[in-house]
Protein backbone atom coordinates (compact mmCIF):
# COMPACT_ATOMS: atom_id res chain seq x y z
CA UNK A 1 0.00 0.00 0.00
CA UNK A 2 1.26 3.50 -0.78
CA UNK A 3 -1.70 5.63 0.15
CA UNK A 4 -1.54 6.39 3.87
CA UNK A 5 -0.75 9.89 5.14
CA UNK A 6 -0.55 11.28 8.68
CA UNK A 7 -0.97 15.03 9.30
CA UNK A 8 -0.52 17.05 12.50
CA UNK A 9 -2.59 20.23 12.86
CA UNK A 10 -5.16 18.74 10.46
CA UNK A 11 -8.18 20.42 12.09
CA UNK A 12 -7.78 23.71 10.21
CA UNK A 13 -6.03 25.69 7.48
CA UNK A 14 -3.23 24.13 5.48
CA UNK A 15 -3.33 20.77 7.29
CA UNK A 16 -6.98 20.35 6.32
CA UNK A 17 -6.32 21.35 2.70
CA UNK A 18 -3.42 18.90 2.42
CA UNK A 19 -5.77 16.16 3.73
CA UNK A 20 -8.38 17.08 1.10
CA UNK A 21 -5.84 17.17 -1.75
CA UNK A 22 -4.64 13.64 -1.01
CA UNK A 23 -8.21 12.48 -0.21
CA UNK A 24 -9.13 13.34 -3.80
CA UNK A 25 -6.59 10.68 -4.84
CA UNK A 26 -8.36 8.17 -2.55
CA UNK A 27 -5.79 8.21 0.30
CA UNK A 28 -6.27 7.05 3.90
CA UNK A 29 -5.71 9.98 6.26
CA UNK A 30 -4.57 9.81 9.90
CA UNK A 31 -5.61 13.23 11.17
CA UNK A 32 -4.41 14.75 14.44
CA UNK A 33 -4.76 18.12 16.18
CA UNK A 34 -5.56 19.57 19.58
CA UNK A 35 -8.78 20.94 18.06
CA UNK A 36 -11.14 17.94 18.05
CA UNK A 37 -14.10 19.82 16.53
CA UNK A 38 -11.93 20.87 13.60
CA UNK A 39 -10.65 17.32 13.20
CA UNK A 40 -14.17 15.86 12.98
CA UNK A 41 -15.01 18.42 10.29
CA UNK A 42 -11.86 17.59 8.33
CA UNK A 43 -12.63 13.85 8.41
CA UNK A 44 -16.16 14.50 7.13
CA UNK A 45 -14.74 16.60 4.28
CA UNK A 46 -12.10 13.96 3.53
CA UNK A 47 -14.82 11.33 3.13
CA UNK A 48 -16.83 13.60 0.85
CA UNK A 49 -13.68 14.18 -1.25
CA UNK A 50 -13.10 10.45 -1.80
CA UNK A 51 -10.73 9.52 1.01
CA UNK A 52 -11.15 7.92 4.43
CA UNK A 53 -9.26 7.57 7.70
CA UNK A 54 -9.44 8.35 11.40
CA UNK A 55 -8.80 11.20 13.83
CA UNK A 56 -6.87 11.33 17.07
CA UNK A 57 -6.29 14.16 19.51
CA UNK A 58 -2.54 14.74 19.70
CA UNK A 59 -0.55 17.66 21.11
CA UNK A 60 2.77 17.76 19.25
CA UNK A 61 4.51 19.00 22.42
CA UNK A 62 3.91 15.60 24.03
CA UNK A 63 6.13 12.86 22.58
CA UNK A 64 4.10 10.09 24.24
CA UNK A 65 0.97 11.29 22.39
CA UNK A 66 2.87 11.18 19.07
CA UNK A 67 4.09 7.65 19.85
CA UNK A 68 0.49 6.60 20.63
CA UNK A 69 -0.60 8.21 17.34
CA UNK A 70 2.08 6.26 15.41
CA UNK A 71 0.87 3.03 17.07
CA UNK A 72 -2.72 3.85 16.08
CA UNK A 73 -1.56 4.38 12.47
CA UNK A 74 0.07 0.97 12.50
CA UNK A 75 -2.99 -0.74 13.99
CA UNK A 76 -5.63 0.99 11.88
CA UNK A 77 -3.81 1.52 8.57
CA UNK A 78 -0.94 -0.98 8.76
CA UNK A 79 1.63 1.82 8.48
CA UNK A 80 2.22 5.28 6.99
CA UNK A 81 3.63 6.39 3.64
CA UNK A 82 3.75 10.18 4.09
CA UNK A 83 4.25 12.07 7.37
CA UNK A 84 3.20 15.74 7.33
CA UNK A 85 4.47 17.77 10.29
CA UNK A 86 2.22 20.81 9.91
CA UNK A 87 0.93 21.84 13.37
CA UNK A 88 2.09 25.34 14.26
CA UNK A 89 1.30 28.58 16.05
CA UNK A 90 1.90 32.27 15.30
CA UNK A 91 3.97 34.71 17.28
CA UNK A 92 5.55 38.11 16.96
CA UNK A 93 7.20 40.97 18.81
CA UNK A 94 10.63 42.60 18.76
CA UNK A 95 13.45 40.69 20.46
CA UNK A 96 13.71 43.18 23.34
CA UNK A 97 10.02 42.69 24.13
CA UNK A 98 9.77 38.90 23.78
CA UNK A 99 9.97 36.99 27.06
CA UNK A 100 11.84 33.72 27.47
CA UNK A 101 8.42 32.09 27.97
CA UNK A 102 7.39 33.39 24.52
CA UNK A 103 10.52 31.74 23.12
CA UNK A 104 10.00 28.44 24.91
CA UNK A 105 6.35 28.20 23.84
CA UNK A 106 7.21 28.91 20.18
CA UNK A 107 10.16 26.50 20.04
CA UNK A 108 8.21 23.74 21.86
CA UNK A 109 5.47 23.72 19.22
CA UNK A 110 6.92 24.92 15.92
CA UNK A 111 10.36 23.32 16.20
CA UNK A 112 10.32 20.53 18.81
CA UNK A 113 6.83 19.47 17.60
CA UNK A 114 8.40 18.71 14.21
CA UNK A 115 11.46 17.02 15.74
CA UNK A 116 9.16 14.80 17.84
CA UNK A 117 6.87 14.06 14.87
CA UNK A 118 9.87 12.96 12.76
CA UNK A 119 11.26 10.83 15.57
CA UNK A 120 7.99 9.12 16.49
CA UNK A 121 7.17 8.29 12.86
CA UNK A 122 10.67 7.45 11.60
CA UNK A 123 10.29 3.67 12.02
CA UNK A 124 7.06 3.74 9.99
CA UNK A 125 8.45 5.79 7.07
CA UNK A 126 11.62 3.72 7.05
CA UNK A 127 9.51 0.60 6.77
CA UNK A 128 7.41 1.99 3.92
CA UNK A 129 10.32 3.85 2.25
CA UNK A 130 7.97 6.78 2.48
CA UNK A 131 8.27 10.54 2.71
CA UNK A 132 8.41 13.27 5.33
CA UNK A 133 6.93 16.69 4.53
CA UNK A 134 7.76 19.40 7.09
CA UNK A 135 5.88 22.70 7.00
CA UNK A 136 8.29 25.57 7.70
CA UNK A 137 7.77 29.12 6.36
CA UNK A 138 9.45 31.84 4.26
CA UNK A 139 10.22 33.27 7.71
CA UNK A 140 12.88 30.54 7.94
CA UNK A 141 14.70 31.97 4.92
CA UNK A 142 14.08 35.73 5.12
CA UNK A 143 14.05 36.52 8.89
CA UNK A 144 11.53 39.35 8.79
CA UNK A 145 11.78 41.79 11.74
CA UNK A 146 9.52 41.56 14.78
CA UNK A 147 9.18 37.77 14.86
CA UNK A 148 12.58 36.37 15.81
CA UNK A 149 11.22 33.43 17.82
CA UNK A 150 9.06 32.29 14.88
CA UNK A 151 11.98 32.83 12.44
CA UNK A 152 14.32 30.71 14.57
CA UNK A 153 11.80 27.89 15.05
CA UNK A 154 11.11 27.71 11.30
CA UNK A 155 14.81 28.00 10.36
CA UNK A 156 15.30 25.01 12.68
CA UNK A 157 12.66 23.09 10.72
CA UNK A 158 14.56 23.79 7.48
CA UNK A 159 17.88 22.71 9.06
CA UNK A 160 16.30 19.55 10.46
CA UNK A 161 14.80 18.75 7.05
CA UNK A 162 18.17 19.25 5.29
CA UNK A 163 19.81 16.98 7.87
CA UNK A 164 17.18 14.28 7.37
CA UNK A 165 17.37 14.63 3.58
CA UNK A 166 21.00 13.57 3.60
CA UNK A 167 20.83 11.10 6.49
CA UNK A 168 17.82 9.24 5.13
CA UNK A 169 18.77 9.04 1.46
CA UNK A 170 20.30 5.60 1.85
CA UNK A 171 17.14 4.37 3.60
CA UNK A 172 15.16 5.69 0.57
CA UNK A 173 13.02 8.00 2.69
CA UNK A 174 12.16 11.21 0.82
CA UNK A 175 12.22 14.54 2.66
CA UNK A 176 10.54 17.81 1.67
CA UNK A 177 10.28 21.17 3.39
CA UNK A 178 7.62 23.74 2.55
CA UNK A 179 8.20 27.49 2.98
CA UNK A 180 5.05 29.48 2.25
CA UNK A 181 4.73 33.26 2.65
CA UNK A 182 1.64 34.53 4.48
CA UNK A 183 -1.77 33.08 3.51
CA UNK A 184 -5.24 33.25 5.06
CA UNK A 185 -6.05 30.58 7.71
CA UNK A 186 -6.96 30.53 11.41
CA UNK A 187 -3.27 30.87 12.34
CA UNK A 188 -3.77 34.16 14.17
CA UNK A 189 -6.15 32.51 16.66
CA UNK A 190 -3.03 31.01 18.24
CA UNK A 191 -1.04 34.28 18.23
CA UNK A 192 1.10 34.98 21.24
CA UNK A 193 3.24 38.08 21.64
CA UNK A 194 3.90 41.04 23.89
CA UNK A 195 2.44 43.68 21.54
CA UNK A 196 -1.15 43.21 20.34
CA UNK A 197 -0.74 45.58 17.38
CA UNK A 198 1.80 43.17 15.85
CA UNK A 199 -1.08 40.70 15.63
CA UNK A 200 -3.09 43.22 13.60
CA UNK A 201 -0.11 43.81 11.29
CA UNK A 202 0.28 40.07 10.66
CA UNK A 203 -3.49 39.83 10.08
CA UNK A 204 -3.17 42.29 7.20
CA UNK A 205 -0.35 40.25 5.66
CA UNK A 206 -2.40 37.03 5.85
CA UNK A 207 -5.28 38.75 4.07
CA UNK A 208 -3.02 40.07 1.32
CA UNK A 209 -1.96 36.64 0.03
CA UNK A 210 -2.64 36.10 -3.68
CA UNK A 211 -3.03 32.34 -3.08
CA UNK A 212 -5.15 30.21 -0.75
CA UNK A 213 -4.34 27.27 1.53
CA UNK A 214 -5.95 25.00 -1.10
CA UNK A 215 -3.63 26.42 -3.81
CA UNK A 216 -0.67 25.73 -1.53
CA UNK A 217 -1.79 22.13 -0.90
CA UNK A 218 -2.07 21.66 -4.68
CA UNK A 219 1.41 23.07 -5.22
CA UNK A 220 2.86 20.80 -2.52
CA UNK A 221 1.19 17.79 -4.17
CA UNK A 222 2.78 18.70 -7.55
CA UNK A 223 6.24 19.42 -6.18
CA UNK A 224 6.38 16.30 -4.01
CA UNK A 225 5.52 14.25 -7.10
CA UNK A 226 8.46 15.94 -8.88
CA UNK A 227 10.78 15.11 -5.97
CA UNK A 228 11.53 18.79 -5.15
CA UNK A 229 13.13 19.17 -1.69
CA UNK A 230 12.51 22.84 -0.94
CA UNK A 231 8.98 23.85 -1.86
CA UNK A 232 8.23 27.60 -2.09
CA UNK A 233 4.56 27.99 -3.05
CA UNK A 234 4.50 31.81 -3.41
CA UNK A 235 5.96 33.32 -6.60
CA UNK A 236 7.06 36.36 -4.58
CA UNK A 237 8.80 34.06 -2.09
CA UNK A 238 10.70 32.28 -4.86
CA UNK A 239 11.91 35.64 -6.18
CA UNK A 240 12.92 36.94 -2.74
CA UNK A 241 14.86 33.74 -1.98
CA UNK A 242 16.76 34.05 -5.28
CA UNK A 243 17.75 37.64 -4.43
CA UNK A 244 18.83 36.64 -0.93
CA UNK A 245 21.04 33.84 -2.23
CA UNK A 246 22.74 36.20 -4.71
CA UNK A 247 22.86 39.33 -2.57
CA UNK A 248 22.00 38.77 1.11
CA UNK A 249 23.07 42.31 2.04
CA UNK A 250 20.31 43.78 -0.13
CA UNK A 251 17.74 41.78 1.85
CA UNK A 252 19.28 42.75 5.23
CA UNK A 253 19.05 46.43 4.21
CA UNK A 254 15.42 46.00 3.17
CA UNK A 255 14.56 44.15 6.39
CA UNK A 256 16.28 46.85 8.50
CA UNK A 257 14.12 49.49 6.82
CA UNK A 258 11.05 47.36 7.45
CA UNK A 259 12.07 47.03 11.12
CA UNK A 260 12.23 50.82 11.44
CA UNK A 261 8.82 51.19 9.84
CA UNK A 262 7.31 48.52 12.10
CA UNK A 263 8.75 50.18 15.21
CA UNK A 264 7.45 53.59 14.14
CA UNK A 265 3.99 52.07 13.60
CA UNK A 266 4.06 50.39 17.04
CA UNK A 267 4.95 53.71 18.67
CA UNK A 268 2.20 55.56 16.80
CA UNK A 269 -0.50 53.14 18.01
N1 LIG B 1 -0.87 30.96 7.44
C2 LIG B 1 0.33 31.43 7.11
O3 LIG B 1 0.48 32.59 6.69
C4 LIG B 1 1.54 30.54 7.19
C5 LIG B 1 2.70 30.93 6.52
C6 LIG B 1 3.83 30.10 6.58
C7 LIG B 1 3.78 28.92 7.30
N8 LIG B 1 2.63 28.57 7.95
C9 LIG B 1 2.64 27.32 8.72
O10 LIG B 1 1.62 26.46 8.24
C11 LIG B 1 1.27 25.53 9.28
C12 LIG B 1 -0.25 25.43 9.37
O13 LIG B 1 -0.76 26.67 9.85
P14 LIG B 1 -2.12 27.31 9.32
O15 LIG B 1 -1.76 28.62 8.71
O16 LIG B 1 -2.90 26.32 8.55
O17 LIG B 1 -2.81 27.70 10.72
P18 LIG B 1 -4.13 27.12 11.48
O19 LIG B 1 -4.12 27.77 12.82
O20 LIG B 1 -5.32 27.32 10.62
O21 LIG B 1 -3.80 25.57 11.62
C22 LIG B 1 -2.81 25.09 12.52
C23 LIG B 1 -3.38 23.92 13.30
O24 LIG B 1 -2.35 23.46 14.20
C25 LIG B 1 -3.00 23.11 15.42
N26 LIG B 1 -2.07 23.15 16.55
C27 LIG B 1 -1.60 24.25 17.20
N28 LIG B 1 -0.84 23.88 18.24
C29 LIG B 1 -0.83 22.52 18.25
C30 LIG B 1 -0.21 21.55 19.08
N31 LIG B 1 0.55 21.89 20.14
N32 LIG B 1 -0.41 20.24 18.79
C33 LIG B 1 -1.17 19.88 17.75
N34 LIG B 1 -1.80 20.76 16.95
C35 LIG B 1 -1.62 22.06 17.19
C36 LIG B 1 -4.12 24.12 15.58
O37 LIG B 1 -5.13 23.65 16.46
C38 LIG B 1 -4.60 24.29 14.15
O39 LIG B 1 -5.68 23.43 13.87
C40 LIG B 1 1.94 26.06 10.56
O41 LIG B 1 3.11 25.32 10.82
C42 LIG B 1 2.30 27.49 10.20
O43 LIG B 1 3.39 27.98 10.94
C44 LIG B 1 1.50 29.34 7.90
- All structural domains of the chain, each given as residue ranges with its CATH number in brackets, are 4-235 (3.40.50.720)
For position 116, what pLDDT does the model report? 99
3-state secondary structure of 91: strand
pLDDT number for residue 204 = 85
Q: What are the start-end ranges of the E strands in the chain?
A: 4-8, 28-33, 52-57, 82-85, 131-135, 174-178, 230-231
CB-ligand 1 contact for 92 (6 Å cutoff): no
Give the pairing of strands 4-8 and 131-135: unpaired
CB 154 within 8 A of CB 137: yes
Give per-residue pLDDT as tens, 107-161.
999 999 999 999 999 999 999 999 999 999 999 999 999 999 999 999 999 999 9
pLDDT of residue 1: 60
Long-range contacts of 257-261 (CB under 8 A, 24+ apart): 258/144, 258/145, 259/94, 259/145, 259/146
Query: Quick one: pLDDT at residue 269?
Result: 61
CB half-sphere exposure, 232, CA atoms < 13 A: 15
- Predicted TM-score of the model (pTM): 0.97
pLDDT reading at 206 higher than 90:
no
* 212 Cβ inside 6 Å of ligand 1: no
Q: What residues form DSSP beta bridges with 231?
A: 178
Protein residue with its CA nearest to atom 18 in ligand 1:
187
What is residue 266's predicted lDDT score, i.e. its pLDDT? 75
Amino acid sequence: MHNRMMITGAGSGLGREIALRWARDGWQLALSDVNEGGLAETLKMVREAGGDGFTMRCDVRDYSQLIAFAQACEEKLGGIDIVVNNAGVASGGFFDELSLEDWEWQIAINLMGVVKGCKAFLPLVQKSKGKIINIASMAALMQAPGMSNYNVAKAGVVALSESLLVELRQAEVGVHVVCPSFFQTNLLDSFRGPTPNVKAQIGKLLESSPITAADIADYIHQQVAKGEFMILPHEEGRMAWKVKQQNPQAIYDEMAMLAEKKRAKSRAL
